[in-house]
Structure 1
């Protein structure tokens, strides 16, 4: 009986340690989606300028886009309601956030939006905008852009 308990305890430790070895982390920058009450589906933003580090603090992904406005304009247009609350959804969060900013551009005018946690409110003025999201983390920096239309 004593051998049975030793075997059972030994198996318990082996199985509990396998969970520690089975973890895997995604060292890619997350995809970012916009979600609101007016949209049934979340809309994904395009990756623009990225410097992202992986295991051992080595560069995992580096992307440099000179003309983010051109990239944004070539994305499928997302429709939102003026003044609406929008949430940012991240594909994964295998990083520690250090800062998050959201701006919208209309023509050459930039409007910085106040971000609370992962939410922000769109401008109350209708029209077509380019949205820019900048994420700063312990893994690096990532910029995302999109083409949005703010209407009724």
Structure 2
């Protein structure tokens, strides 16, 4: 009986160890999606400036000099006035140190306060905006943009 218990325990430990070894981590900057909890609408933001340490400490960099012009060139994403939005990452194999979101309209920046669930609310004022999301993580910095139409 004792020998059987050792064999079963050994098999269980080997199976458990194999599961840990097979885990796959994503070391690239995450994709960011805007998702509305009130509807099935979700829209992906575009990567802008990136300085991210990836697998084997390889640095991934992307530099956009004029972020607002770059964002304005992107496909327009349409949302409703006052619509609540969740910021979702496709992976989170990093620790978020800071996360900020802001809207730009006619050269003026309006910060969007994020709650603990990483949600914010679009303004009631209709119009075209540029959304800039900045992620500061233990793996580096990533910036995302969206061309937003609120109507």
TM-score (norm 2): 0.91
* Cα distance in 2 between the residues matched to 1:4 and 1:17: 20
Q: How does 1:1-152 map to 2 (within 5 A)?
A: 3-37=3-37, 40-59=40-59, 61-117=60-116, 118-151=118-151
Q: Which runs of 5+ in 2 are unaligned?
A: none
Residue 13 of structure 1 aligns to a residue whose secondary structure is helix
1:9-63 per-residue CA deviation (whole Å, 9 max, x = no partner) reads 222221111112111210000000111156533100000001111235431x211
Q: Which runs of 5+ in 1 are unaligned?
A: none
* Cα distance in 1 between the residues matched to 2:150 and 2:105: 11
Please state how far the C-alpha of 1:105 moved relative to its aligned partner: 0.6
* Cα distance in 1 between the residues matched to 2:134 and 2:104: 14
CA contact (8 A) 2:38 2:84 kept: no
RMSD: 1.6
In the comparison of the two structures, how many residue pairs are matched?
150
